[in-house]
Amino acid sequence: MKILHTNFHRGWGGQPARILMLSQGLSSRGHEVVVAAPRGSVLAERARAAGLQTFEEASFRKPRDLASAFADVRRLATHLDAARYDLVDAHGSQDLWTTVLARRRLGAHAPPLVFTRHNTKHVATHLFNRWLYRRLDHLIVVSASVLERYRPFFERGDLRRDRVSIVHSAYRPDRFHPGIDGSAVRASLGLGAGTPLVGAVGRLVPDKGQDDLLRAAAEVLRRSPQTRFALVGAGTAEPALRALAAELGVENACSFLGFRDDIPTITAALTIAVLASIDCDASPAVLKEALACGVPAVATDIGGSSEIVRDGQTGLIVPPRRPDLLARALLALLDDPARARLMGRAGSADVAARFTPDLLAEQTLAAYRAVLARREGA
């Protein structure tokens, strides 16, 4: 197949990472893949570095500037007409709108359109969105939890359940696996091998719920004062989180490590990995990565977390916004290291069987082939 992937993001994150991983997987299977992303975006740069073709003539900005938006539609329509793709897979809201409008210019020559939905954010059911989703040939969601957002669209016939696929994002087994040594990270924090270290990897933003982790930390430290906590990442919530740590009296037990490139070794250094999200995480990579390293996970029941962590087997699932229950789950594992180690080993085998780049590519290709089969049979 000749496939175009589109995405509006300029920075890096879960969406661009999945697109790049998927594009490389499809390319390695003999498909011709082009990545459409704004000029100067991290995705465009990394796609080129990986030897992939790119289309960087569309800015995919929010349509506040109508002239820019219409220019994007015109440029993309011209490109689609010339390139003759078998299929387009859009991955973000702005690029989806641009692609739908560009396809309308091509009429019967327009390639089929797939939309991959990466998050659990609310989907408004106004007339514009209903019109938009009727233009899709197929919807891919990155976890079953995302489907709940589309219930009104299914009920009204704007989407058909038989034209939806669930394809979780993958992690990189070459970077995250049980053999990684986290001792250097522990040493840099002044921790010995036996000191419990609870960590959360992710942007420091309200959606990630790190404030609840700090509140849980205060409770954990009353029972397990030797435990240490690490927040890995940067973001707008950092000043507030530091202030909260001081207010709760946990600042001396909590390290803010900032943005880091050595996530595999940091993850391997953890005793327990935590994702305390309150919104948005549809198929969180950090859970797969932690389990891949043999680290048990405690996660809130948001998005696809309960589809990744097998509650009671590879980690524990707790309700969001309940730091008391989060603390209880952490203490349950801290008080029973043997159980925690068993969970970690089970998690490593489990994610290796369910969330690899090969599975991401093959499951996505199955969705694409179903789209093309319907088109040929029409």
Q: Is the pLDDT of residue 342 over 70?
A: yes
Give tens-digit pLDDT for 312-326: 999 999 999 999 999
Domain count, the chain: 2
Report in angstroms the alpha-carbon separations of 116 from 53, 93, 111: 20, 10, 16
Higher pLDDT, 12 or 115: 115
Residue 346 dihedral angles phi and psi, to the nearest 5° = -65, -40
Residues 239 and 288 in one domain: yes
Residues 328 and 363 in one domain: no
pLDDT value of position 177: 97
Confidence band for 18, pLDDT divided at 50, 70 and 90:
very high
Instruction: List the CATH number of the domain containing 56.
Output: 3.40.50.2000
Residues 109 and 53 in one domain: yes
Confidence band for 62, pLDDT divided at 50, 70 and 90:
confident
pLDDT value of position 378: 64
Q: What are the tokens at 287?
A: 């859970």
Please give the Cα distance from 294 to 271 (Å, whole number). Answer: 9
Q: Is the pLDDT of residue 13 over 90?
A: no
Residue 242, class by beta-carbon neighbours within 10 Å (0-12 exposed, 13-18 middle, 19+ buried)? Answer: middle
Give tens-digit pLDDT for 67-80: 888 999 999 999 99
* Domain enclosing residue 149, as ranges: 2-170+357-377
Q: Is residue 178 part of a domain?
A: no
Whole-structure pTM over 0.85, yes or no? yes
Strands 113-117, 53-55: parallel, antiparallel or unpaired by DSSP? Answer: unpaired
Q: Mean pLDDT in the chain? A: 96
Q: Is residue 176 part of a domain?
A: no
Q: Which of 7, 22, 5, 164 is nearest to 88 (CA)?
A: 5
